[in-house]
Structure 1
Amino acid sequence: MSDSPDPADIGLRYLAVSYHLRRVVDARMNAGGLSLARTKVLEVLARRGPLAQSSLAEELGQAPRSVTQSVEALEREGLVERTTSSEDRRAKLVSLTPQGSKAVAAGTEAGRKVLHEIFEAMGAEDLARLDKILDVIGTAVATAASDEAVS
């Protein structure tokens, strides 16, 4: 019997912890008025500028219908606006409003604050070690994803 932990068990534990972390961050951000998912939409628009909804969906890695629903809700709240593309009358361009710019800044700050609260308990040495471990995991995930695409 080996004393070393089973990689699959550690992977499952990682998934469980990351799921709970995401829920805590999302709950804290929701309390501030904007969910993590909606903040991500606004962050893409803040970083990239006005985008076609199809490009926004691609950037977020989401189905176009899901993004349409998010954009419609954000538009109702005055955080984004949709206009018809001058290049393709069928396409809608999505852009941040001034209120959306303020909301994304507040949402991002709320998320950063809760992440800081959680991760500051680790200390600098453990954070550096975690950073390196996440690099290794990220590389392994990319390899697994490319293997999956080839299969």
Structure 2
Amino acid sequence: MSINVPFSTTLEVRDTCLCLHTQRAARALARYFDDALRPYGLTNGQFSLLMALNRPEPPSIAPVARLLAMDRTTLTAALKPLQKNSLVEIIADTSDRRSRLLLLTPKGSDLLAKAVPVWREIHAELENSLLNGNGDMLRSLLLNLGNISTP
């Protein structure tokens, strides 16, 4: 025998679910930044990944995966188009030949430098228009949400 969930429960989830509202907001923000970064041939995810590699020393996969809240397999897949476009190289770690380091190439660094002003402009526009300049509160809430662990 099938048990039906009442439509009122659907409305409750639609109106109150933090996960749903966060996913919707993330998708809308992603589209907004994708549109702004399209002239540079980047998606918002690729921009974030390139930015995560913009360090004094090339990082290994694990810390980048943690920063971007990705598993290693997803990160490896996300790196492929960046490698193909010569924006990123995966190199052997000289101190541990089994480990791989992620290197932002000069071409990747140049592209990132061109895209940053657009990111800054779009980011400031969003923060000022949608958040009335109060982005710190939203960042704090999102950081707290990002630190929850599974039940």
TM-score calculated relative to the size of structure 1: 0.71
In structure 2, relative to structure 1, the CA distance for the partners of 1:139 and 1:57 (3 Å cut) is closer
* SS of residue matched to 1:47: coil
Higher relative contact order (CA 8 A, sep 6+): 1
d(CA) in 2 for partners of 1:14 and 1:59? 18
Query: What SS does structure 2 have at the residue aligned with 1:109?
Result: helix
Q: Provide the rounded CA distance (Å) in 1 between the counterparts of 2:143 and 2:63.
A: 26
Q: Which residue of 1 aligns with 2:104?
A: 96
Identity between Structure 1 and Structure 2 (%) = 23
- Alignment length, in residue pairs? 137
Give yes or no for the alignment of 1:114 onto 2:122: yes
CA RMSD in angstroms, aligned pairs only: 3.0
- Structure 2 gaps of 5+ residues are 1-14
- Aligned partners of 1:42 and 1:28: how far apart in 2? 16
Residue 76 of structure 1 pairs with residue 103 of structure 2: no
CA contact (8 A) 1:34 1:103 kept: no
Structure 2 partner of 1:137: 141
Cα separation, 1, equivalents of 2:136 and 2:37 = 24
Partner letter of residue 115 of structure 1?
H
CA contact (8 A) 2:88 2:103 kept: yes
Superposed CA offset, 1:73-117 (max 9, x none): 212211112221112222221111111111112223222222233
Choose the corresponding residue for 1:35, options 40, 43, 54.
Answer: 43
**Change in CA separation of 1:62 and 1:81 when aligned onto 2, cut-off 3 Å:** same
1-side partners of 2:146 and 2:67: how far apart?
17
